[in-house]
Amino acid sequence: MLVGPGQAGDAPMFPVLMDHLRVARRGLGRPRTRPERVRGDKAYSSRAIREHLRERDIVAAIPELSDQRGHRQRRGSRGGRPVSYDAEDYKGRNVVERGFNEDKQWRGLATRYDNLALTYRGGAVLRAITLWLKR
């Protein structure tokens, strides 16, 4: 579990998260470090993130922001190709969002009042343990 700076956006933490990512295999063997696809909301629609995913051959299911679409269309043929993503695959992102919403039932996690990242991370780990025990 990584805790980023409080008021910073999600996009600067994306490469750090991808470096720490481990995807368990179904059978034996060490975890993979490259997922097949990434589902993200429009906050992850930056050119740098898409380039990072393209370099690692990861399919991106991230919709394009309307202002980015407008800028690209305004530039005409110099604006590049439109972003393609699988809208059906993107619908599966709600599973992750529901998981975050379940975590945020603890007021301390939702409001981020903790002054120290260590304290916040401890609360997040404790919440994960209680949710795991409920199942």
Name the residue among 64, 20, 18 with its Cα closest to residue 38. Answer: 18
Q: Is the pTM of this model over 0.85?
A: no
Range of the domain at 110: 104-135
Residue 98 lies in a domain: no
Residue 97 lies in a domain: no
Residues 49 and 115 in one domain: no
Residue type, 29: G
Question: Cα–Cα distance between 102 and 34 in angstroms, integer?
Answer: 27
Residue 95 lies in a domain: no
Residue 29, pLDDT score: 87
Name the residue among 40, 6, 30, 7 with its Cα closest to residue 18. Answer: 40
CB atoms within 10 A of CB 90: 16
Residue type, 101: N
**Domain tally, the chain:** 2
- Angle, in degrees to the nearest 10, between helices 94-103 and 117-134: 110
Residues 15 and 80 in one domain: yes
Residue 99 lies in a domain: no
Residues 118 and 85 in one domain: no
Give tens-digit pLDDT for 11-41. Answer: 788 888 888 888 888 888 898 888 888 888 8
Give tens-digit pLDDT for 75-87. Answer: 777 777 767 777 7
Residues 80 and 110 in one domain: no
Residue 4 lies in a domain: no
Residues 69 and 130 in one domain: no
Residues 114 and 86 in one domain: no
Residue 2 lies in a domain: no
Helix (H, G, I), strand (E, B) or coil at 83: coil
Residue 6, pLDDT score: 66
Residue 5 lies in a domain: no
Residue 126 lies in a domain: yes
Q: Is the Cα dihedral 81, 82, 88, 90 positive or negative? A: positive
Residues 69 and 115 in one domain: no
